[in-house]
Amino acid sequence: VLLSLLLALSLLSPWGSAAGSCPPRCVCASNLLSCSQANLSAVPAPLPRFTAVLDLSHNNVTRLRADWAPARLPHLHALLLSHNGLAFVSTEAFAHVPRLRHLDLSSNRLRTLDENLFSDLGELEVLLLYNNEISTVDRTAFENLGRLRKLYLGQNRIARFPLELLREGTRLPQLALLDLSANRLRAVPAGELQALPAWLRDRLYLHNNPLSCDCLLFQLLDRGRRRHLSAVEDFQDELRCFPPGATALVKILELAGKPPLNCSKAREAVLEAHLGDSVTLGCDSRWQGVRSRHWVTPGGERVLGDGGNGSVVLLANGSLQLRALRPEDAGTYSCWVAGPLLNETLYVELLVHNFTLHGPHDTLNTAYTTLVGCILSVVLVLIYLYLTPCRCCCCRGTEKPPAPRDDSINSSVLSTTPNHAGGTGEPCASHVATSAGTGQNGRFKGRGTPPLPARQGPKAQRKVSDPDSVSSVFSDTPIVV
């Protein structure tokens, strides 16, 4: 009975049948097959169909051909091939393992990633290629990897930054980690990297590269340090660059205000708009897929949904939309995010210019009008000064003696306009000196200045102005004092 029971268990066990026997020099446990450090030069065959994890690390498998898995392995989700001296991988090597989610090809001798090398791995999530000799990456090597989340390319010989791997929604839409550390990168597109979402920049590793110092690069990393992004905060000493004309590396985060670049620290987020515009403030959190968040306006009001009369709207993606901007909408807005590990607060400064989108044209029109007005004013003043008729333009007779210099009324510019005698028809007749005559009530007429009796005291030298000599520039009627 005991023998029959053992035979039945051996038939039920996956390793009990001939087709599912454990390969020599390997250790089998359930659906896990470990052949690590077995001094293998080729993948053992046959492999059980139900194998889920296959560990072939630390062997001498230098070439991975298309026939290493002659039969389909529908359950294999992890393949470990590190430390094998692997120098060649066929483009059809993964045709029989379509469910693979974890592939480790690290610490080998791979030099190139050929066209469509991983295109059969549509469910791959983690790809380890660090510590190889990779210098060339074909643009289509990572095609069809729509679920890839982590890509490790550190410690290779890559000299060109593969920006196409990061452009959101294109080749690798779910990529959340890209390790390019310890390569041969001399320049990175800092401006385009800054436009990436923070949750991706939080896992972009660029340390230990011979980068060229640049203020845009400094500002990119400086923002990451202030945001506590792990890719920057954990590797501050390893983030170095070559200054212009120098041969020694310096720390990138120490470039602020130092020659020859004199880089200035960048502000976290500044958005400019005009009156009446509609703007959207993005909550650039480093936590991906967070739903618990809210905004606080410059006035301290918490925004959870529609605010005011529809002018402030919290969008589904966590952004804050402001409609029909007013001057009082300017200020610093705060976005509070509840992350999986800790909370995060983001600040966005909004500058509202005090004119609409047509403001520059209106300003130009106003300036033009002001300039024309000034020119016309100058022309009128010149006409008044140089084209006003002279007091004696028509007179050839005796001229009136000039008024004394201390006569403040006669010296006024307002007295330059002549008074005209009414009804005589003779021009400039009023400017000829005549004999003094008496008028009504015994007073002298305006054609002369009556003599005054001598006065005593400090005011004895005061003179009386000719009342007819004071006239408005806008009227011919004399002002009688």
Q: What percent of the chain has pLDDT over 70?
A: 70
How far out from the chain centre does Cα 24 lie? 60
More confident residue, 239 or 22: 239
pLDDT band at 15 (very low <50, low <70, confident <90, very high): very low
Please determine, for residue 120, whether its predicted confidence score (pLDDT) is greater than 70.
yes
Least confident of 45-59, 116-130, 289-303, 397-411: 397-411
Residue whose C-alpha is closest to residue 129's, from 149, 109, 99, 101: 109
Contact call for residues 193 and 201 (beta carbons, < 8 A): yes
Least confident of 219-223, 356-360, 434-438: 434-438
Q: What percent of the chain has pLDDT over 90?
A: 32
Q: In whole numbers, what is the pLDDT of the chain averaged over residues?
A: 77
β-pair type (293-296, 302-303): antiparallel
pLDDT in tens, 135-148: 999 888 898 999 99
More confident residue, 22 or 108: 108
Contact call for residues 106 and 82 (beta carbons, < 8 A): yes
Residue type (1 letter), 424:
T
How far out from the chain centre does Cα 206 lie? 21
Q: What is the average per-residue pLDDT within 23-42?
A: 92
Please determine, for residue 85, whether its predicted confidence score (pLDDT) is greater than 80.
yes
Q: How far apart are CA 279 and CA 311, in angstroms?
A: 11
pLDDT band at 481 (very low <50, low <70, confident <90, very high): very low
pLDDT in tens, 222-275: 888 888 889 999 999 999 999 988 889 999 998 888 888 888 876 667 788 888
Least confident of 15-29, 190-204, 228-242: 15-29
Residue whose C-alpha is closest to residue 157's, from 193, 178, 130, 176: 130
Contact call for residues 276 and 325 (beta carbons, < 8 A): yes
Residue whose C-alpha is closest to residue 200's, from 235, 173, 239: 173
pLDDT band at 356 (very low <50, low <70, confident <90, very high): low
Q: What is the average per-residue pLDDT within 407-412?
A: 44
Contact call for residues 454 and 460 (beta carbons, < 8 A): yes
Q: How far apart are CA 59 and CA 81, in angstroms?
A: 8
User: Could you tell me the domains of the chain?
Assistant: 271-353 (2.60.40.10)
| Res 258: pLDDT | 82
Please determine, for residue 420, whether its predicted confidence score (pLDDT) is greater than 60.
no
| pTM for this prediction | 0.63
| Res 426: pLDDT | 45
pLDDT band at 70 (very low <50, low <70, confident <90, very high): confident
Please determine, for residue 174, whether its predicted confidence score (pLDDT) is greater than 80.
yes
Q: What is the C-alpha R_g of the chain? A: 46
Q: Which residues neighbour 201 within 8 Å (Cβ) at sequence distance 6 or greater?
A: 193, 194, 224, 229, 231, 286
Least confident of 51-55, 233-237, 255-259, 395-399: 395-399
For residue 216, the SS3 value is: helix
Please determine, for residue 292, whether its predicted confidence score (pLDDT) is greater than 80.
no
| Res 428: pLDDT | 41
Contact call for residues 223 and 198 (beta carbons, < 8 A): no
